Structure 1
Amino acid sequence: MESLTIEEKIGQLFLISVRNSYSGNRMLFADDYMKNIIEQYKPGGIILFTINFADPVQTRDLIRGTQELSSIPLFIAVDEEGGKVARLGNTDRMSVTKIPQAAVIGRTGNREYARLSSQVISRELKAFGFNMNMAPVADVNTNARNPVIGDRTYSSDPLQAGRMVAEVVRTMADENIISVLKHFPGHGDTSSDSHKGDVTILHDLQRLEKVEFVPFRMGIEAGADAVMTAHIKMPLVTGNDLPATMSPLILQGILRNEMGFKGIIITDAMDMGAVKNYWSADEAAVNAIKAGADIILMPASLSDAVQGIRKALEDGVLTEERINESVRRILRVKVKRGILDQKSIGSDQIMDIIGSTEHARIIDSIIN
């Protein structure tokens, strides 16, 4: 902490995507454009998407090259839940093991299957050099009309979902992959999509305690490294029209103080309609940090969001100590997962690990 400049501290608060290079072509290797972004903004991490993947060795080398550009080792994240949200698994050119959706595993009622499937994902992610997986989904599937969650959840039963979530969290920790519970305080009972626009849930705190909070509590007790917020409004809880991502009551009052979560709070992507349709990138970033978030994921404009945090510090809207609180949490997780000691470089034997016969056998035993 003492060695970091204020610019480096602000940079740690951002987890960004870089999908294209200067030319507009896909970002497939750590080129001068990537170098300039990292040198200018000093982000705490990068999240990669299918557009960044051409083949396994290229992906490993992209991660290696990106880490080499950063003076502070990066979170290298991906959404690899299994099922329909699998940036690697749903791309045949990546040769990874295909993992069934959470609902398939949840219906078995067998926590060992949750452990085994998560172990396969984690070991293959490590082979590439990833150190953070935006999983598991800790939502409860209580709305058949939900357009965005559905079979990404383990169950409509909160306890069953929680048991599976806790098993996944423990397994990811064993494999030294950072777990991210999502989407707090619970996105399972929605009939609209926060990627596109405004989402409101009219549940009170009593209902949330009985249903939505259960898997999150169990995941936190199992040692989750991070929790991702949802951009959903809960006026019967907060008494206002702010989404959870910007609610001090939800992030600090409930998640931090009442649930005792001490890890990293990550926003859902800030370029989603539920945020960018109503707040500028700088306003959204400042509001989320003020509310208690530690990491801003994919701001609609990185330059505007970074400048917004800087201006908020200059104007006294945010204090350096508030920034320090988040940076300490971020660095603790980087230390805990060995990221600061040894950058994620991936395996030289990557093709022997991903999509292996052993991994295929494990998944076959689950689905058959």
Structure 2
Amino acid sequence: MHSRRTVLSTAAAAAAACAAAGPAQAAEHVAGRPQPSPEGGPTAAARDRLRRLISRMTPEEKAGQLFVMRVYGHSATDPDPADASANRKEIGVANAAELIARYHVGGIIYFTWTHNTRDPHQIAELSNGIQRAGAAQRVPVPLLISTDQEHGAVARIGAPATLLPGAMALGASGARDDTWTAARISGAELYAMGIRQDYAPDADVNVNPANPVIGVRSFGADPQAVARRVAAAVRGYQDAGVAACAKHFPGHGDTDTDSHVGLPYIHHTAEEWERLDAPPFRAAIAAGIDSIMTAHIVVPAFDPSEDPATLSHPILTGILRERLGYDGVVVTDALGMQGVREKYGDDRVPVLALKAGVDQLLNPPDLAVAHAAVVRAMKDGELAEDDIDSKLLRILLLKERRGLFADPYTSRRAVDRVVGIRRHLDTADRIADRTTTLLRNDGGLLPLSRRRERRVLVAGVDAAAPTGTGGPPTEVLARELTGLGFTATALPTGPTPSQELIDRAVAALDGQDAAVVATYDVTARSPQRALVDALLATGKPVVQLAIRGPYDIAQLDGVRAGLASYCWTDVELRAAARVIAGRRDPEGRLPAPVMRADDPGTALYPIGHGLTY
């Protein structure tokens, strides 16, 4: 905890480094008509209509409306045979339409790996097919279609949709409107594809540099700066008609365990939580956020039973509902994650989550088991009917606010007018140009000169990028540098380069004038250190670019020039290449401190650090 507390004290001292975001100057860069919530929210008449709708539902239909489920396939009725087979195996149905007819689910979540997101036109037609299936039910209810389009490290929809800098990159930008603009663009494009809820923004404060699951998904390490960015993102998404979802309550930023594979513990005291974790969630609530996602983490200070927050009444009802005054929709993180399955069986988890204060149950591993358990608990009286009806009303009111009862459908024309248009792509590049951060530039090594360092070797990690992007990072960097007047050659060496690969990189540099090395989560024992040291030993200029967290440079003492792009997607890498080539001045400022490797209690580079040319 000592080093992370030092991170936080550094963060607090530099809170002013991140400017508040606002939409005033940015609207001209965003296509698509805003779809704001009706003034004052749904009317009394709308509430009465929705209550009558709920009263017509059977227990099975009510239970189904609480679930948001995955489904394989690019089509609601005619998926590929392999996807239909996967659906039968995992859900017991062949397609989305059958899923809705059998279980009456209230929402569908799109993933790349379930083959829902091939291209924007296909996504729009899938969305329309899902809504047609919802309208065909005995009690017609539109579905809330959602996805995780955080941008940066997590993006389910790739090009030709617009890909934008991720949260930590936006945290590095000093421009007032960038966060709102990015969320407004993303929201407009999601809306055009029939997606009315985005599981973003990430409201975690990343005070632990070793965090394996949040990292660059967070806006940074300063709670107040993160809070401002979160509020701006909420306004941007919801101005576009898409429900935002702040995650992961009560705060996943100070953990070294990934809740996908284990059960993390957060050992903050109540006072530390209030200072470190609460501000972004308070800001999201003040901004009128539609939904908040729970975390599968244990916080002993709030619940000594050591139940994960998703199943904790003291946390979800006592803190989120009562202390913070939130009355919007609460959705679980995915119920197939190990963090929520360690203590209880898959039949108990959904019931306990609903009793704790949850409204929506996201992606259980076995829907038949989960649905039957909720129905049984309703009929047995463990789940009170009035409480279930209140949850359903929250969900339906969200759908009402987002226009789903008025018109849940979209069209090819809407996609063509909004998704991946030149204005959005140009704006994404302009935002990215304000995020690349120059951490070190000893002797003025950067920018590279096309006369001195014309031939450039681009080596390093080729991290997996979202679907539809321009290729592996080394190839993107090499292609962009070549387009900027250099002759660049890509040589991917991976996150754990062997000695043979290191030797190949050194040999390849022999015919070049300089090297750019893309690094990714370098540790004290990482073979990436040996690669960088070997290239430095040649005496050629070596530029290091951290393509995930900005922390790598603390492990690379010999590097004279180091930058951070905060992610490995095209838009961020192209911006970094423009800085390396001197076409843009570096404007980014660290939103999280880089601590010394030999003294983790001391900042090597504090929040707000960033050099210019």
Note whether the superposition's TM-score is higher than 0.5: yes
More divergent stretch after superposition (276-285 vs 356-365): 276-285
Instruction: Check whether the contact 1:138–1:153 (CA below 8 A) recurs between aligned residues.
Output: yes
1:115 shift after superposition: 0.8
Residues of 1 paired with 2:301 and 2:411: CA distance? 46
* 1:265 alignment counterpart: 330
1:26 shift after superposition: 6.9
Amino acid at match of 1:66: I
Residues of 2 paired with 1:280 and 1:59: CA distance? 34
Instruction: Check whether the contact 2:72–2:95 (CA below 8 A) recurs between aligned residues.
Output: no
Can you list the C-alpha shifts for 1:50-95, whole angstroms capped at 9, x where unaligned? Answer: 1212222111111111110012100010100110100003xxxx41
Instruction: Check whether the contact 2:188–2:241 (CA below 8 A) recurs between aligned residues.
Output: no
Residues of 2 paired with 1:66 and 1:300: CA distance? 21
3-state SS of 1:318 partner: coil
More divergent stretch after superposition (8-17 vs 49-58): 49-58
Can you list the C-alpha shifts for 1:88-127, whole angstroms capped at 9, x where unaligned? Answer: 03xxxx4111111111111113340001111110111111
3-state SS of 1:62 partner: helix
Instruction: Check whether the contact 2:71–2:95 (CA below 8 A) recurs between aligned residues.
Output: no
Match of 2:287 among 210, 222, 225: 222
Instruction: Check whether the contact 1:229–1:244 (CA below 8 A) recurs between aligned residues.
Output: yes
* 2:141 alignment counterpart: 72
* 2:60 alignment counterpart: 7
Amino acid at match of 1:2: S
- Does residue 191 of the first structure (1) align with residue 256 of the second (2)? yes
More divergent stretch after superposition (210-219 vs 108-117): 108-117
3-state SS of 1:342 partner: coil
Instruction: Check whether the contact 1:187–1:232 (CA below 8 A) recurs between aligned residues.
Output: yes
* 1:343 alignment counterpart: 408
- Does residue 167 of the first structure (1) align with residue 232 of the second (2)? yes
- Does residue 311 of the first structure (1) align with residue 364 of the second (2)? no
- Does residue 24 of the first structure (1) align with residue 90 of the second (2)? no
Residues of 2 paired with 1:240 and 1:162: CA distance? 29
* 1:58 alignment counterpart: 122
3-state SS of 2:220 partner: coil
Residues of 1 paired with 2:198 and 2:414: CA distance? 21
Instruction: Check whether the contact 2:231–2:283 (CA below 8 A) recurs between aligned residues.
Output: yes
* 2:556 alignment counterpart: none
Residues of 1 paired with 2:326 and 2:315: CA distance? 12
3-state SS of 1:265 partner: strand
Question: Higher helix share goes to which structure?
Answer: 1
Amino acid at match of 1:313: M
1:349 shift after superposition: 4.0
C-alpha spacing 1:36/1:81, structure 2 compared with 1 (3 Å): same
3-state SS of 1:228 partner: strand
Matches within 5 A, 1:133-172: 133-172=198-237
Amino acid at match of 1:161: V
Amino acid at match of 2:157: L
Instruction: Check whether the contact 1:19–1:27 (CA below 8 A) recurs between aligned residues.
Output: no
1:156 shift after superposition: 0.5
Residues of 1 paired with 2:84 and 2:182: CA distance? 30
Instruction: Check whether the contact 1:192–1:199 (CA below 8 A) recurs between aligned residues.
Output: yes
Instruction: Check whether the contact 1:130–1:346 (CA below 8 A) recurs between aligned residues.
Output: no
Residues of 2 paired with 1:280 and 1:111: CA distance? 47
Instruction: Check whether the contact 1:95–1:354 (CA below 8 A) recurs between aligned residues.
Output: yes
* 2:267 alignment counterpart: 202
* 1:120 alignment counterpart: 185
Residues of 2 paired with 1:27 and 1:335: CA distance? 34
Residues of 1 paired with 2:329 and 2:168: CA distance? 26
Instruction: Check whether the contact 1:26–1:52 (CA below 8 A) recurs between aligned residues.
Output: no
- Does residue 328 of the first structure (1) align with residue 393 of the second (2)? yes
Match of 1:110 among 175, 197, 201: 175
Amino acid at match of 2:129: G
* 2:95 alignment counterpart: 33
- Does residue 47 of the first structure (1) align with residue 109 of the second (2)? yes
Amino acid at match of 1:67: Q
Gaps of 5+ in 1: none
* 2:561 alignment counterpart: none
Larger radius of gyration: 2
More divergent stretch after superposition (229-238 vs 342-351): 342-351
3-state SS of 2:330 partner: strand
Instruction: Check whether the contact 1:131–1:344 (CA below 8 A) recurs between aligned residues.
Output: no
Match of 2:247 among 173, 182, 186: 182
TM normalised by structure 1 equals 0.95
1:328 shift after superposition: 0.8
Residues of 2 paired with 1:111 and 1:219: CA distance? 17
1:4 shift after superposition: 2.5
Residues of 2 paired with 1:27 and 1:350: CA distance? 30
More divergent stretch after superposition (311-320 vs 116-125): 311-320
Residues of 2 paired with 1:56 and 1:297: CA distance? 24
3-state SS of 2:396 partner: helix
3-state SS of 2:99 partner: helix
* 1:83 alignment counterpart: 152
C-alpha spacing 1:177/1:349, structure 2 compared with 1 (3 Å): closer
Instruction: Check whether the contact 1:27–1:52 (CA below 8 A) recurs between aligned residues.
Output: no
TM normalised by structure 2 equals 0.57
1:2 shift after superposition: 2.4
1:221 shift after superposition: 0.3
1:246 shift after superposition: 0.5
Amino acid at match of 1:196: V
Amino acid at match of 1:275: V
1:348 shift after superposition: 2.1
* 1:248 alignment counterpart: 313
Instruction: Check whether the contact 1:44–1:74 (CA below 8 A) recurs between aligned residues.
Output: yes
Residues of 1 paired with 2:197 and 2:105: CA distance? 15
C-alpha spacing 1:351/1:27, structure 2 compared with 1 (3 Å): farther
* 1:360 alignment counterpart: 425
1:344 shift after superposition: 3.5
3-state SS of 1:317 partner: coil
Residues of 2 paired with 1:22 and 1:246: CA distance? 37
* 1:95 alignment counterpart: 160
Instruction: Check whether the contact 2:182–2:236 (CA below 8 A) recurs between aligned residues.
Output: no
Instruction: Check whether the contact 1:270–1:297 (CA below 8 A) recurs between aligned residues.
Output: yes
**Kindly, what percent of the aligned residue pairs are identical?**
38
More divergent stretch after superposition (321-330 vs 337-346): 337-346
1:7 shift after superposition: 2.1
3-state SS of 1:181 partner: strand
3-state SS of 1:105 partner: helix
3-state SS of 2:177 partner: helix
1:48 shift after superposition: 0.5
3-state SS of 1:192 partner: coil
Residues of 1 paired with 2:66 and 2:56: CA distance? 16
More divergent stretch after superposition (333-342 vs 346-355): 346-355
RMSD (Å) for aligned C-alpha atoms: 1.8
1:13 shift after superposition: 0.6
Gaps of 5+ in 2: 1-53, 74-78, 87-92, 135-139, 434-613
C-alpha spacing 1:346/1:102, structure 2 compared with 1 (3 Å): farther
C-alpha spacing 1:183/1:27, structure 2 compared with 1 (3 Å): farther
1:22 shift after superposition: 8.7
Residues of 1 paired with 2:165 and 2:375: CA distance? 43
